[in-house]
Structure 1
Amino acid sequence: MATPGFRPTHVVPQHGLSAWETPDPERPTVALDALLPVQLVERRGDWGHVLCANGWSAWVDARCLVAVPQDPPTAGTGPLARTADPRPLLARVERALAGYRAAAEELAAGGLDGEGFHARTHGVRVGIVVDGESVWLYDTEHERWVYADGARMSTYAPDDTPHARAEPGHAPTQVVTPDGP
């Protein structure tokens, strides 16, 4: 039986999702089933507190949740707001790739030895897959793969376990409403 007022904002990815009692990797609980509808009610860094239709709640890696499309706006509500513009990330990918290409060309031309090439490219991480109108980009700043449809992007797969990005001892809390961020 569904909790009154339950409105899913996300679904669990098709491979399921680990869950925790609190936003602490040391306190695991039962994993969430694949494609389970959930409502994201709070965010703390990478952690998300989700509510299931039966009233059960858990903390998950919110970056892995798949957003449920919202109903289209009604006439007269103004232009659609775009979220997470992919252009700045595309520009960072282009700069990183240009730097790598310049080092590779200098290596091929004999102006750089293997050690110099290693030094210039050490730590460079670039990832992009373009498939028609869709693109998957590696976001080195946030250590995650994102999916973009040209107008907006969302997390596709994070590299690590969730953590709160804040000063030690305090994780910022963001209350998430169905119509909010």
Structure 2
Amino acid sequence: MATHGFRPTHVVPAHGMPAWEDPDPARPTVPLDPLLPVRLVERRGDWAHILCANGWSAWVDGRRLIAVPQDPPTEDHPLTAAADPRPLLARAEQALARYRAAVDALLAGGLDGESFRDRTRGQRIGVVVDGESVWLYDAETERWAYSDGKRLTTYAADEAPRATPEPGHAPTRVATFEGEP
């Protein structure tokens, strides 16, 4: 069952994490995928009760969740190629089409289980659509990106920030907030 109005408050760490049915280590359940967007519902000490976009919930070690901004900031600059959400949407569609083709072949008897695993190995896709907002996993850059339909911004990344920017990366800017010097 889908949960309407789902707004993630956290993402799962880059290497995934174990989950439990109850805040009890004796009741494990399916582990959570890396960078899965979740909403924190309740805290009990180090335990965190989380909700996923599809309505599934579990208990996790809340200390390991990565907090994300509620509404990712967007800039009021002209749209650049890197901020255009359409290429990432196209890659997500292509990845989903490849996966669907593999499922069709498996169910039609054209693939056995091992061939299916070989064909789908390494494929990663993640999409959460909520009205005008979309969160997309970009497997090429190993990042979750957010778009309001007009602009794409990084939401969460698999790896730690780099000490030096990549070639072609925009220069660092000082961010100031209203009321600050």
How does the TM-score come out when normalised to structure 2?
0.50
Higher radius of gyration, 1 or 2 = 1
Greater length-normalized contact order (CA 8 Å, ≥ 6 residues apart): 1
